[in-house]
Structure 1
Amino acid sequence: MTSSELTRSALDEPAKPAPKSWVAAISLANVGLFTAWFGPILTLLGMQAERFAGDDKEAALAWVVGIGALCSTVANPVVGALSDRTTSRYGRRLPWTVLGICGGVASLVLLAFAPNLVVVTIGWCLAQIALNANFAAITAAVPDHAPHRQRGTIGGFLGLAQTVGAVVGAGLAAAAGGIVGGYLACAVFLVIASAPYVAMRRDLVLDPADRPSFSWGTFLRGFWISPRLHPDFAWAWLTRFLMNLGFSIGLVYLLFYLDDAVHHENPEAGVFLLSAVNSLALLVTVVAGGWLSDRLDRRRIFVTVAGVVMAAGTLSLAGFHSWTAAIIGVAVLGLGMGVFTSVDLALMIDVLPEAIDRGKDLGVVNIANSLPQVLAPVVAAPVVSVLGGYSTLYAVAAGVTLTGAVLVYRIKSVR
């Protein structure tokens, strides 16, 4: 850091753009993080559910993913709040990033050698807690270091990192030759991808005089952000929740969709190929969408367009159960998700209530990412088994996404 950056208060709004080296490092760290997340979600957990539960694999996967997501729902805002109050000489966020990486590696190793579904569930819960500690700290670093007019662009790179991580995770799981190799490969990649960001040690130190006094009552009440006092934050949270729920409803059973509806001869490899197609499509829009949003100083219209495009992609999956339709559907979904992920982060940062609570508030925001993982299998399992199968499932996903695309216009303080 420069001397001016070293002396800047951790609570000040950043004035200078974050350097490109930092943007590249935090983006690569996100690739590692999402590799560790999506390798299990897209492939490895499904393989273990099939191994240990057989014909009940859908319900088993729903339980594992759902319970793990509940853990992430709690861990993300709690770690964010703790990082807000951390006065370590290494900074507020970086110590939690390192703890998250170490815990994530240990959890993935436990999952690799899990002997039954109970241990898989425990391992995934621990992984969700650790990886969400990392995610909370990295996300909070963006408003700490990036000014308003750079956040859409950085959101674009972080959105790109998410999709690349999904491809790398699915690829490692498929190429490693089994469950054990897949988990260990994801763990090693998490460490390698995170190393440059950690080594930079670019973090602001919180002056102990700026740290608010602590009481358990105040700490716990702080996780409730009143919609009456902060309506724009509430609407932005709901928009993110609905968009992610629509996406998660389709994603959680993608492996089974290829197996049971498309009848793909190798569903694990199919998930990898579809993830690659989704990533390539996202490349077209994710950075450009965030950059254009910064230049036009507009957020809402980009979210609406993204929602419409995403709904078109899921409707393709609903209407045509073929490999060609699956490729087209995930490609269109990628185009929309690219715009949404880049602009949404900037929009959420723009409506945060207080600088001192950035980590905690962004942790509450990230519940809108993790809670859909809880609800998606709850919604998807009965839809697939009772209410009409995968056509109905993806139609529901489209409707949920379109609702979020409309409600973004209830936000008034962001254009």
Structure 2
Amino acid sequence: MSRPAAPEALTEPTERAGRGWTAALSLANGAIWVGWYGPLQILLALQAAELAPPGTAKESVLAWVTGAGAVVSMVANPLFGALSDRTASRFGRRTPWILAGVLGGAGALVLLAGAGTVAGMALGWCLVQLTLNAAFAAITAAVPDRVPQGRRGAVGGWLGAAQILGVVAGTGLATVAGGVVAGYLACAGFTVLGALPYVLLHRDPALPAGRRPALRLRDLLAGFRISPRRHPDLAWAWLTRFLINLGNALALLYLLYYLRDVLHRPDPDGGVLVLTAVNAVTLLGTVVVGGFWSDRIGRRQPFVLWAGVLMTVATGLLAGWQTWPGAVCAAALLGVGFGVFTSVDFALMTQVLPAAADRGKDLGVINIANALPQVAAPVLAAPIVQHLGGYRVLYGVAAAIGLLGALLVRRIRGVA
């Protein structure tokens, strides 16, 4: 007797995902980044300056709030990834969590808009991270569910393009909306509207109820661990992503304050928007091309390595050329490097996943490498800026960390 075929949701995809599917998923991804980066680039910094108690530095308040949110993000991403792996809905494993996540994220942004204390601000931001990570975990897992390995660089490129457009749109909305409250409300509305086309028009492969894994606390907790001995490529890929993202997080965390306090820009909010736009233009010029090129030649490591080196050079410019032209050049180079890294590293990550049944959980563990730098960066950055040499030392440290991450990609053996 032949063994019954595995359900579509648990098999390696062989057919190309359509352009409409890719476009809708990319738009939903960009909408989530609007919900994250409108606050991160502008609104949280302004709110921290308003709500900081007398005698408390605004940098410390911002570091504490963003660090708390990043801790929530680290837990939420693999948790909701594991839950989506086990969701036997007729709408698929991922779509219900995308919808629930963006609706919850919009509500949390509205709550954050009304925060009148540092504690309320921290609570609101933690709820934003909790809910939007539910949607992000599902979106990330949808790619290996639906896209063959040889096409993931290209799809990763479109997701990366949507990500940076989301960063630009979030920064723009936060800048032009007319205040902190209006900025949060604008980001909340965009987050929901951007996800609706995917939710309404596309369905994921459904997991039959009889094939749903048991939901046990022990299994969920096990999902937070990576065994370097059993999965060394996954561990090295995780460490590469963590270090490069940590260098990037250190470079971007205090950008508003850098423009205001070091470069003395008369309009630092507008300066952040200009730098974000420059970064976006160069990133968009490389993110899709890098993914397509990587798919065509069938290699990932060289792209990740040289993208990391270029980002290191850009961060070094912020340390050694502290002028407005230097900041513009750094933003352009960071865009080129991060564009290639975003698409190709995503494809690389999907190729080191251990099992199809746990894609959401495993990608959630990998995505901790995106969130953990948001915790580590404030811990490192605040004392460096305040006591250990200021912004020149901060950006030098960021460059060194990013370069180490780029070099470690060579330790991965199973992906060229």
Please give the range of the TM-score, normalised by the shorter of the 2 chains.
Answer: over 0.9
1:317 corresponding residue in structure 2: 318
Alignment RMSD: 1.1
Alignment of 1:290-301 (within 5 A): 290-301=291-302
Q: For 1:7-18, what aligned pairs fall within 5 Å after superposition?
A: 9-18=8-17
Alpha-carbon distance in structure 1 between the residues aligned to 2:215 and 2:40: 37
Deviation of 1:215 after TM superposition, in Å, equals 2.8
How much has 1:225 moved relative to structure 2?
2.4
User: How far does the alpha carbon of each residue in 1:286-330 deviate from its partner, in whole angstroms, 9 at most, with x for none?
Assistant: 000000000000000000000110011111111111111110011
1:60 paired residue number: 61
The aligned residue for residue 94 of structure 1 is 95
SS in 2 for 1:331: helix
User: 1:28 & 1:219 partners in 2: Cα distance?
Assistant: 29
* Structure 1: 5+ residue stretches without partners: 1-6
Question: What amino acid is aligned across from residue 235 of structure 1 in structure 2?
Answer: W
**Which residue of structure 2 aligns with residue 344 of structure 1?**
345
Q: What's 1:152 paired with?
A: 153
TM-score by length of 2: 0.97
Give runs of aligned pairs for residues 13-162 of structure 1, distance below 5 A: 13-53=12-52, 56-162=57-163
Distance 1:97 1:271 in 2: 30
* 3-state DSSP of counterpart to 2:57: helix
For 2:274, the equivalent position in structure 1 comes to 273
Q: Which residue of 2 aligns with 1:164?
A: 165
Contact 2:79 / 2:220 at 8 angstroms: preserved in 1? no
4+ residue runs over 6 A deviation: none
Structure-2 separation of matches of 1:276 and 1:221:
41
Q: Please give the alpha-carbon distance, in whole angstroms, between the structure 1 residues aligned to 2:327 and 2:223.
A: 43
Q: Residues 317-369 of structure 1, C-alpha deviation per residue, up to 9 Å, x if partnerless?
A: 11111111110011101100000000011000000001100000000000000
Q: Which runs of 5+ in 2 are unaligned?
A: 1-5
Deviation at 1:90, TM superposition (A): 1.1
Asked if 1:357 corresponds to 2:355, the answer is no
Equivalence for 1:4 = none
The aligned length equals: 409
The amino acid that maps onto 1:28 is L
Looking at structure 2, the residues matched to 215 and 52 of structure 1 have their Cα atoms a distance apart, in angstroms, of: 41
Identity rate, percent = 56
* Residue 3 (structure 2) aligns with: none
* Aligned residue identity for 1:280: V
Which amino acid in the other structure matches residue 32 of structure 2?
Answer: L
- State the match for 2:403 in structure 1: 402
Write the distance in 1 (CA, Å) between the matches of 2:118 and 2:175: 21
Deviation at 1:8, TM superposition (A): 5.4
**Distance in 1, Cα, partners of 2:40 & 2:378:** 12
In the alignment, the residues of structure 2 paired with residue 24 and residue 187 of structure 1 have an alpha-carbon distance, to the nearest angstrom, of 21
Q: In 2, distance between residues paired with 1:261 and 1:291?
A: 39
Provide the C-alpha distance between the structure 2 equivalents of 1:249 and 1:70, rounded to a whole number of angstroms: 16
Q: 2: distance between equivalents of 1:189 and 1:286?
A: 23
Separation in structure 2 between the aligned mates of residue 391 and residue 411 of structure 1, nearest angstrom: 33
Which TM-score applies when normalising by structure 1?
0.97
Deviations 1:250-293 (A, max 9, x none): 11111111111111111111111110000001011100000000
